[in-house]
Amino acid sequence: MTASVLPPAIVLIIGGLVLPMLPVRLRGFTILAMPLVTLFLVWQVPDGAALRMPFLGYELTLVKGDALSRLFATVFAVMAFAGGLFALNQNRVVELAAAFCYAGSAIGVVFAGDLISLFIFWELMAIASTLVVWSAGPSARGPGLRYAAIHLLGGVLLMAGIAGEVASTGSLALGKLELDSLSRGLILAGFLINAGAWPLSSWLPDAYPESSWSGMVFLSAFTTKAAVYVLLRCFPGTELLIYVGLFMVFYGIVYAILENDMRRILAYSIVNQVGFMVTGIGIGTELALNGAAAHAFTHIIYKALLLMSAGSVLYMTGKRKCTDLGGLFRTMPLTTICGIVGALSISSFPLTSGFVSKSMISDAAGIQRLEMVWYLLAAASAGVFLHAGIKFPWFVFFQKDSGLRPADPPWNMRAAMVLCAALCIGIGVLPGPLYAILPYPVTYVPYTPSHVVFYLQLLLFSGLAFFLMLDWLKRTLTITLDVDWLYRRLGLALAQNLNRAAETAWNGVMGSAERAARGVSSGIQRYHGPDGILARTWPTGAMAFWMTIMLAAYLILSYL
């Protein structure tokens, strides 16, 4: 083993495993200290391979640094800190332990220097995140199981792809892959499942909202963004991703518009936002890739902020449906303001973090003369304001008076929200430090008058459309069927029918076998039973008679 650095992932993974065994008074300190130590270690990783280890005849590179790895690892560590602060008062310590292992594995993914190391951390992430979902209690069992099943399927595809790749090229290298073989297609499919790409995207709105008030804050950050990282690493400029990304963008918007559960709205909007990143990766120019990476960074923070404000509402009221909420701005002013800051950031409002990242992706489409892509991204930007930017704060904090008068949540939850809100505005006002750590040099200027006015028009008129069509957007006690219907209803019905058919067939086969066996048995009974012809006791006379016949036959035959 050659090491020039302590792997950053190890602190959170081991820390997470040890956390439940620590005395309660040490836990808070540990939860806040571990991400900071991790952040320090992230910036100690030099460029190039820093930790190698032999494994089953292969030479694994467990830690390999470059700008892209450090960018993602930085935001993952920041998120572990903010999430830990928010969840300090979470009394289910298993959730925090799992969340820290989950964050650590995500950091392991972004520093993995080869396909096998990547796979190991990838699967650790799937297991740890499932435990985060499950720690919400019995109601999360089903969704958690479905979540695990889809991610294990993704893992199988990825493993099959990696095996094919190693068999055909002999290389474990984790770098740009041309989409020219089945094995690479499988690797891409494995990545896209974690990114929440359609059709296997419904695990996200199915499972995440069933996690606890703090669990979803962690869940929103790592899995999908680790997938964005590996797509950036392996498939930049793959044209297919433009279409996959655009579909995700509009799928997220339309389903979020129809949704009633505040955390499911935000779950669909994760798919929508990751769609922007995937589109940027598909465009593939340096500006687009920088945009996708920057958008992943800003998205993690503002989405966490949105989910913290939703989590605070859930924590204080126990309610999550828009139809039950409304009017909370009266008694939850800080949560409302932080929720609005998150909502403006996700909508790329000028002076917020989303503006300085998302506009890079659309501009890259414009510069590449991808006309349709540019128009669709512009429409989608307006749509984000519609489904998340206004819809979330409006239905949760304003709308009608629900009669609920909850106070703002405890100090640690407020502090975490203020931290994230400050980062959203800070990055939006001063994008320089973020631009400085992007993978490619940045010459992009977000704040031009033309740009700002265009986005203001786009967003404000989207807001006008929202309020003019409010009647059409009224929330109802409904869900909208998604692809998961195929395995939750159709698959179940098919399985039940198959079960019934198999039962009938089995009963039929068993019935006829039994009848045949009975037939044989009664045949034997007839000839060999107590009254059977072959079981009768024969008189001695009959025997002597037959013996005489046989001897006589023998005598005659010998003379012939």
Which residue type, as a one-letter code, is found at position 485? W
Least Cβ distance, residue 401 to other proteins (angstroms): 5
Residue 386 within binding range of other proteins, rule CB under 8 A: yes
Q: Rounded to 5 degrees, what are φ and ψ at 37? A: -60, -40
295, 272 in Cβ contact below 8 A?
Answer: no
Least Cβ distance, residue 499 to other proteins (angstroms): 18
CB nearer other proteins, residue 262 or residue 386 = 386
Identified binder of other proteins from the candidate list 92, 164, 166, 488, rule CB under 8 A: 488
Going by DSSP bridges, is the β-strand pair 58-65/48-55 parallel, antiparallel, or unpaired? antiparallel
Q: What does the block give as tokens for 294?
A: 């920057």
428, 351 in Cβ contact below 8 A?
Answer: yes
Which residue type, as a one-letter code, is found at position 38? T
Identified binder of other proteins from the candidate list 38, 69, 238, 260, rule CB under 8 A: 260
CB nearer other proteins, residue 59 or residue 324 = 324
Residue 472 within binding range of other proteins, rule CB under 8 A: yes
Binding segment for other proteins (CB under 8 A), chosen from 220-228, 274-282, 477-485, 505-513, is: 477-485
Residue 486 within binding range of other proteins, rule CB under 8 A: no
Least Cβ distance, residue 472 to other proteins (angstroms): 6
Least Cβ distance, residue 484 to other proteins (angstroms): 9
Q: Rule CB under 8 A: which of 97-136 touch other proteins? A: none
Q: How far, in Å, CA of 115 to CA of 178, rounded?
A: 15
Least Cβ distance, residue 43 to other proteins (angstroms): 38
CB nearer other proteins, residue 474 or residue 515 = 474
Residue 253 within binding range of other proteins, rule CB under 8 A: yes
Contacts of 115 (CB under 8 A, 6+ apart): 162, 165, 166, 172, 173, 174, 187
Residue 401 within binding range of other proteins, rule CB under 8 A: yes
Residue 164 within binding range of other proteins, rule CB under 8 A: no
102, 222 in Cβ contact below 8 A?
Answer: yes
Identified binder of other proteins from the candidate list 1, 25, 369, 540, rule CB under 8 A: 369
CB nearer other proteins, residue 43 or residue 467 = 467
Q: Rounded to 5 degrees, what are φ and ψ at 479? A: -120, 165
# of chain residues touching other proteins (CB under 8 A):
53
CA distances for 72 relative to 209, 232, 320, 470, angstroms: 24, 11, 31, 39
Question: 49 forms bridges with which residues in the sheet?
Answer: 64
CB nearer other proteins, residue 114 or residue 210 = 210
Identified binder of other proteins from the candidate list 120, 145, 258, 429, rule CB under 8 A: 258
Q: How far, in Å, CA of 83 to CA of 99, rounded?
A: 9
Residue 496 within binding range of other proteins, rule CB under 8 A: no
CB nearer other proteins, residue 189 or residue 378 = 378
Q: At what angle do helices 333-346 and 353-367 cross, to 10 degrees?
A: 10
**Cβ-based burial of 487 (10 A; exposed 0-12, middle 13-18, buried ≥19):** middle
CB nearer other proteins, residue 218 or residue 251 = 251
Q: How far, in Å, CA of 93 to CA of 82, rounded?
A: 17
Identified binder of other proteins from the candidate list 76, 102, 122, 374, rule CB under 8 A: 374
Q: What does the block give as tokens for 60?
A: 């694994």
Q: How far, in Å, CA of 455 to CA of 342, rounded?
A: 17
Least Cβ distance, residue 458 to other proteins (angstroms): 4
Q: How far, in Å, CA of 461 to CA of 380, rounded?
A: 13
Binding mask 325-344 for other proteins (x = CB under 8 A): --x-xx--------------
Binding segment for other proteins (CB under 8 A), chosen from 57-65, 177-185, 347-355, 470-478, is: 470-478
Q: Rule CB under 8 A: which of 339-368 touch other proteins? A: 366-367
CB nearer other proteins, residue 16 or residue 252 = 252
Q: How far, in Å, CA of 437 to CA of 165, rounded?
A: 31
CB nearer other proteins, residue 158 or residue 386 = 386
CB nearer other proteins, residue 100 or residue 444 = 444
Q: How far, in Å, CA of 184 to CA of 263, rounded?
A: 34
CA distances for 271 relative to 91, 145, 228, 243, 352, angstroms: 30, 20, 12, 14, 20
Q: What does the block give as tokens for 279?
A: 């589109």
Least Cβ distance, residue 257 to other proteins (angstroms): 4
| Exposure string over 300-310, b if 16+ CB within 10 A, otherwise e | bbbbbbbbbbb
Identified binder of other proteins from the candidate list 243, 411, 461, 545, rule CB under 8 A: 461
Residue 453 within binding range of other proteins, rule CB under 8 A: yes
Residue 491 within binding range of other proteins, rule CB under 8 A: no
Binding segment for other proteins (CB under 8 A), chosen from 87-95, 232-240, 283-291, 459-467, is: 459-467
Q: What does the block give as tokens for 105?
A: 């594995």
DSSP string, 372-396: HHHHHHHHHHHHHIIIIIIHHHHHH
Q: What does the block give as tokens for 89?
A: 């008062």
Binding segment for other proteins (CB under 8 A), chosen from 267-275, 290-298, 418-426, 475-483, is: 475-483
Q: Which residues of this protein are in contact with other proteins, per CB under 8 A?
A: 250, 253-254, 257-258, 260-261, 321, 327, 329-330, 366-367, 369, 371, 374-375, 378-379, 382-383, 386, 398, 401, 403, 449-450, 453-466, 469, 472-473, 476-482, 488-489
